[in-house]
Amino acid sequence: MSKYILGIESSCDDTSAAVWSDGKILSNCIANQAIHAQYGGVVPEVASRAHQQNILPVVQEALNQAGITKHDLSAIAFTKGPGLIGSLIVGVSFAKSLAMALDIPFIGVNHMQAHIMAHFAEQPYPEFPFLCLTVSGGHTQIVKVSSPFEYELLGETLDDAAGEAFDKSGKLLGLDYPAGPLIDQLAQSGKPAYEFSKPKIQGLNFSFSGLKTGILYFLQKEMKKDSGFIQNNLNDICASIQDTIVQILVGKISRASRETGIKRIAIAGGVSANSHLRSTLQVKAKKHHWELFIPKFEYCTDNAAMIAVAGAFALEEGRSDDQKIEPIARLSV
């Protein structure tokens, strides 16, 4: 008999539900919260209220698209952390209550591990061990993945995440939140004409806060000379910011590959949707004979398919949680 796992993701500002069955994703529904754009970032209280409104219709839609009812479910997987506590509480309480009412197992999933497990939503799967560069709005990590349950953090950001570097730079340019996708789009018609200094951080760690300050000073200086500098050169400025961030990320994952001898390289998280990051890694992969794993766009940014996949691995190992499980805002990979 087929197993059906419902995944629920509510760690930040997107409410998502997905259904996994026998190695396949049958549905992956996402309710985005556009309301945050007017505030220039995610407002936690607004996010948790929107999750409360969205969660029931999103779960129903995921079940409908999968062609099943809640009574067909074998288990429910949900994000237990890391994330915004108010947002997590909505998903955790909903998932636990529904699973208890249906008398089926439930599994709390680590959001950062799930971003990596998104690579198992569709074939071809990476073989273990592989290295994953997880780049999102809250995290920047290089992780050695030895099995679905073994993660070794080799490096991480000491301050801002790569997605934050995109979003905060975009804010300086007057772009809406989240600026990452907009910078990607605008950069397509620009050249990396301006150079920003890159941080000199030892080992496999990252730092992005200095870049943001460097960009601020650069813009202030240029605007003194020409008040229309940003409008007149927006595409080139975006291409330059994007190129700097991508060079930093690609430099560190290349170093991680050299140091570990692992040539299976994966990327995950919202910033892995970036077209320049993808194409730069493809060039590197050819040069260094890497096996490169790039997820489909819908599995890069926050989604519940990755939660359902991580839940499926756990269930296969006979792992599940009990009533005591609670959301954890800070949780490492």
**Chain positions contacting ligand KG4, by CB under 6 A:** 12, 136-138, 163, 166-167, 178-181, 184, 269-271, 273-274, 301-302
Cβ 114 to Zn ion, closest distance in Å?
8
Q: Which residue is nearest to ligand KG4 (CB)?
A: 270
In the complex with Zn ion, the residue whose CB is nearer, 105 or 163, is 163
Cβ 60 to ligand KG4, closest distance in Å?
23
In the complex with ligand KG4, the residue whose CB is nearer, 145 or 315, is 145
Cβ 195 to ligand KG4, closest distance in Å?
20
Candidates 302, 310, 311, 313: give the one binding Zn ion (CB under 5 A): 302
Q: Does 134 bind Zn ion (CB under 5 A)?
A: no
- Sheet strand arrangement including 291-293: 150-156, 140-147, 130-135, 264-268, 291-293
DSSP for 87-112? HHHHHHHHHHHHHHHHT--EEEEEHH
User: Residue 128 in contact with residue 146, Cβ under 8 Å?
Assistant: yes
In the complex with ligand KG4, the residue whose CB is nearer, 297 or 317, is 297
Cβ 116 to ligand KG4, closest distance in Å?
12
SS3 138: coil
Q: H/E/C letters for each residue in 112-129? A: HHHHHHHHHCCCCCCCCC
SS3 232: helix
Cα–Cα distance for residue pair 86/68, rounded to 1 Å: 30
Q: H/E/C letters for each residue in 264-285? A: EEEEECHHHHCHHHHHHHHHHH
- Residue 16, contacted partner among ligand KG4, Zn ion, none, CB below 5-8 A by kind: none
Q: Does 167 bind Zn ion (CB under 5 A)?
A: no
Q: By CB under 5 A, how many residues form the interface with Zn ion?
A: 2
- Residue 180, contacted partner among ligand KG4, Zn ion, none, CB below 5-8 A by kind: ligand KG4
Cβ 218 to ligand KG4, closest distance in Å?
20
Q: Which of 292, 274, 299, 264 is nearest to 115 (CA)?
A: 299
